[in-house]
Chain A
């Protein structure tokens, strides 16, 4: 299908220079008396000043620049400034106060080394005690974000930045040093934005709302690059501000008449449960034409809870939409029909799903039926196949690994040939996600890999297990971590099972648990669910002598069946 969106520019900076100067671009809302807005013209000047500054720091064409700044307009300006020079920026998560300095610096050194970064740009308030710990190898230097007020003009289009050159690196799953960098060219990003804009029927009157972090593909592509290229405004707030006061999202959508927003599934539930009932009727959400559920498995129960809670807020009946997306394909793979009635739901036979790994549609009132929500159809220039563990393509309705090919896919992970070889074969990307296709629509049901998705953040169980293993009271290597969906919060939480060296320690679980929580939070920056301390030889081992994650998980769930129903009863 030929895209309706034909851009008259070849690179992302050219897209910015072509924008209407007086149109509003980004609004950063921090609180009611701290709101900053810039037009495309003002943002262009900020980005050009950043380009000048980076040039003065000896950044050149093709250099990698890591940006470590809080969610705000200067971060966006530094990102585009680097691209104007033909350098390749990568945004990393800003350290939060939970992070332990030495661990953080170790992770940062790893990423910086892997990216062969020329420069690491941090903001003026970046904690000095963290900077002291950071040792970067090779040619990288750390500078604080600087501004100069020298007048700038839009340069003649620099033809040395060819569309086939890398535009930026976005990170896929992973914590600290284990992140996988996906490097994307200007041409790939622009081609994907054209397809995405067409898929969502983007028009100049649209306005995007976002609380999403810019170091995540959904925040970066849908809520920064898409508005930049298509010249539509975006209203943003920082993730932590939204989490603590969720109603602010609805206030901003109403005040700014936002029409589009992307959120991970747990957002719907967080809003439904945490916005006070007495506050709900006051919101007018009629401007919102699509609230797109993306980057976590889409759950019917969360969508229903949201719709019930906000039924008196003039919400469009088809406002809730769904999308399957990943950094590796720039962003979206499939999308629900945005002008249709909303994502299709089907009920499938529970036994056939568990035992035969196939989806057989049944009436919704069938005992044991499982409700699954469609993630829609493929975007233009994108194909998916469902493949068995043996590599055979499966027929519709069979559950297997989702394998993807798209015109805007990654060529490989940046400087990680090992990861590239494991996931890219014959031009197809092996996602590790499990799903099935029915009537041309994709239903995502789980993961082949043991990845845990906590509120949209991807966590490797190995990272958690390693930290727990390091505790002196825990038997090294006898630890299992997995994700368990908690319907109370609408996302997964991390469950840890660990064997203690000395059974006497089972009397001191309170102290050990507390130390483990501190260790995990300070290293990974996330909280965890329940910790189960067990006597020696409780964990089930595989034939290779390693803890068997899924069998151990089954054992725990059979002992503690209530874990499976967390949040469903009450």
Chain B
């Protein structure tokens, strides 16, 4: 389940956020700290993360560092996320 969600996140970031040809990323690629994506784009990724995990991630509970890799954003979502009602 999570593995599929992570794959979907990779697809989303490549096609909707980075939108540059010839870019490859995996679960452990540094995204923000490597300059691949700008922190302004994290808002979209956070919304996607909520959709894929079916969790609500409260404001202020997650920072850019938590979102630097797909692996860490999913573990952050599990840690701070609340079930959607």
Contacts and interface: CB of A to CB of B under 8 A. Distances in A.
Interface of A: 29-32, 34, 96-98, 237, 240-241, 243-248, 270, 274, 276, 455, 489, 493, 509-510, 514, 516-522, 526-528, 530
Contacts of B20: 530
Contact of A455 (B40, B44, B46): B40
Given A246-B43, A270-B40, A31 B58 contact: yes
A158 B47 CA distance: 53
Given A510-B23, A519-B35, A527-B35, 15 more contacts: A30-B60, A31-B58, A96-B65, A240-B64, A243-B39, A243-B42, A245-B59, A270-B40, A274-B43, A489-B40, A493-B38, A518-B35, A521-B33, A521-B34, A527-B38
Interface string B10-53: 00000000001011100000101111111110111011000000
A514 B18 CA distance: 12
Given A243-B42, A245-B46, A31 B33 contact: no
Nearest to A245: B59
Contacts of A270: 40, 43
Interface of B: 20, 22-24, 30, 32-40, 42-44, 46-47, 58-65, 67-68
A248 B62 CA distance: 13
Given A98-B32, A270-B40, A527-B38, A32 B60 contact: yes
Contacts of A96: 64-65
A245 B43 contact: yes
The 8 closest A-B pairs by CB, nearest first: A31-B60, A517-B35, A527-B38, A521-B35, A245-B59, A97-B65, A98-B33, A510-B22
Contact of A248 (B24, B33, B60, B64): B60
Contacts of A246: 43
A241 B60 contact: yes
A290 B68 CA distance: 36
A211 to B, nearest CB: 12
Nearest to B80: A31
A527 B33 contact: no
Given A241-B59, A248-B60, A518 B43 contact: no
A520 B34 CA distance: 9
Given A32-B58, A248-B60, A510-B22, A240 B39 contact: yes
Contacts of B63: 240-241, 244
A31 B34 contact: no
Nearest to A274: B43
Nearest to B36: A517
Contacts of A97: 33, 64-65, 68
21 contacts: A30-B60, A31-B60, A32-B60, A97-B68, A98-B33, A240-B39, A240-B63, A241-B63, A244-B39, A244-B46, A244-B63, A246-B43, A510-B22, A514-B34, A517-B35, A519-B35, A521-B32, A521-B33, A521-B35, A522-B33, A527-B32
Contact of A244 (B24, B33, B34, B43): B43
Contacts of A248: 59-60
Nearest to B59: A245
Contacts of B40: 243, 270, 455, 489, 527
Contacts of B30: 518
A510 B23 CA distance: 7
Contact of A31 (B42, B61, B64): B61
Contacts of A455: 40
Nearest to A35: B60
Contacts of A32: 58-60
Nearest to A524: B35
Contacts of A31: 58-61
Contacts of B39: 240, 243-244, 527
A34 B22 contact: no
Nearest to A237: B60
Nearest to B61: A31
Nearest to B23: A510
Contacts of B47: 276
Nearest to A529: B38
A255 to B, nearest CB: 12
B34 to A, nearest CB: 5
A522 B24 CA distance: 20
B71 to A, nearest CB: 16
Given A244-B43, A270-B40, A510-B23, A520 B35 contact: yes
B15 to A, nearest CB: 15
A244 B64 contact: yes
Contacts of B24: 510
B60 A243 contact: no
Contacts of B33: 97-98, 518, 521-522
Nearest to A491: B40
Contacts of A98: 32-33, 35, 64
A270 B65 CA distance: 21
Given A30-B60, A32-B59, A244 B42 contact: yes
Contacts of A520: 35
A422 B61 CA distance: 46
B34 A518 contact: yes
B32 to A, nearest CB: 6
Given A97-B33, A97-B65, A514-B34, A34 B44 contact: no
Contacts of B65: 96-97
